[in-house]
Amino acid sequence: NITQDNLRAPALFCMLLAGILLWLPSSFLHRHVCALLVLTGAAVLMGDGTALAFYGVVLAALACALWLCRQRWASHQQANRIRALADAATLMSLLLAAMPHQQLLTHMFDFQSDLSRHWIKVVYPAGMGIILLSVVAWLIRDMKGLMRWSVLGITALVAMLAQPAPGLVLTIALGLALFHASNRSWLVLLPVFATFYLFVLYYSLHISLLEKSLLMILCGAILLAGGRLMPRWSRLRT
């Protein structure tokens, strides 16, 4: 169990040591391992499931923000380290997004508290929905009028309908940010995580199979309708 008190001291030591080593001149692999160890050590120190859930949402927001602003830090002298942190935050957030599905991770995280379970189920869907809406809002910041509000409305509706699958919402948000950053490596890997979270949604027991099917159909119909209507609105505007 990674939340046991006897692991906190080694986790803190590992996090501090990796943080120091991250700043030393090193290779691509070394920087990424150090960044991942820093974030993993911090996850162990979170301990309680509720704190870890908030940490996962913060990491997801950090990863999206870093990829959306890649053009700003790509030429920075610390760009290699920022890239390592962005990759580590992306991976950690995708892994931690499985937290709401306790049946898969009972032996990995502390889900003994009913209050923790409740907050995890609240924090992740709400957090991932806000992150997706924020990413879309940033990407369409130059849009104005009806089209902008229509895109935001469609995004908010999809985020609400997809609450039972926060991991899928996260993959969509990260996919948009990574596409904007032109990161081909992660764009190849993201479908693997999306498939995993579809699998998790299908076999989860918190809602019925009929409800899952209806939610996916509604989300698909909304996205298809939006994809057809927005070009028409754009032509009408011009």
Among the ranges given (11-20, 53-62, 103-112, 118-127), the one the predictor scored with the smallest mean pLDDT: 103-112
DSSP string, 172-228: HHHHHHHHHHT-HHHHHHHHHHHHHHHHHHHH-SSS-HHHHHHHHHHHHHHHHHHHH
The mean per-residue pLDDT over the stretch 94-116 comes to 61
DSSP H or E stretch at residue 69:
none
Write the pLDDT tens digit of every residue in 147-194.
788 888 888 988 888 888 888 899 999 999 999 998 999 999 999 999
The separation between CA 189 and the C-alpha centre of its own chain, rounded to angstroms, equals: 14
Please tell me the distance from the alpha carbon of residue 202 to that of residue 208, in angstroms, as a whole number. 9
Helix axes 184-203, 166-181, angle to 10 degrees: 170
The mean per-residue pLDDT over the stretch 12-22 comes to 88
| Mean pLDDT computed over every residue of the chain | 82
pLDDT > 70: percent of the chain: 84
Q: What is the pLDDT of residue 4?
A: 55
The mean per-residue pLDDT over the stretch 19-25 comes to 87
Query: Which residue from 6, 36, 40 is spatially nearest to 21, judged by alpha carbons?
Result: 36
Q: Is the pLDDT of residue 219 over 50?
A: yes
Q: pTM for the full model?
A: 0.84
Please tell me the distance from the alpha carbon of residue 69 to that of residue 91, in angstroms, as a whole number. 18
Tokens of 124: 């992740």
DSSP H or E stretch at residue 47:
none
Q: Predicted confidence band at 226 (pLDDT cuts at 50, 70, 90)?
A: confident
Q: Which residue has the higher pLDDT, 211 or 27?
A: 27
Q: What is the pLDDT of residue 200?
A: 81
Among the ranges given (21-35, 69-83, 89-103, 115-129), the one the predictor scored with the smallest mean pLDDT: 115-129
Helix axes 114-139, 166-181, angle to 10 degrees: 30
Residue 178 and residue 187 in contact, taking contact as beta carbons nearer than 8 Å: yes
Residue ranges of E strands in the chain? none
Q: Is the pLDDT of residue 33 over 80?
A: yes
Q: Is the pLDDT of residue 145 over 90?
A: no
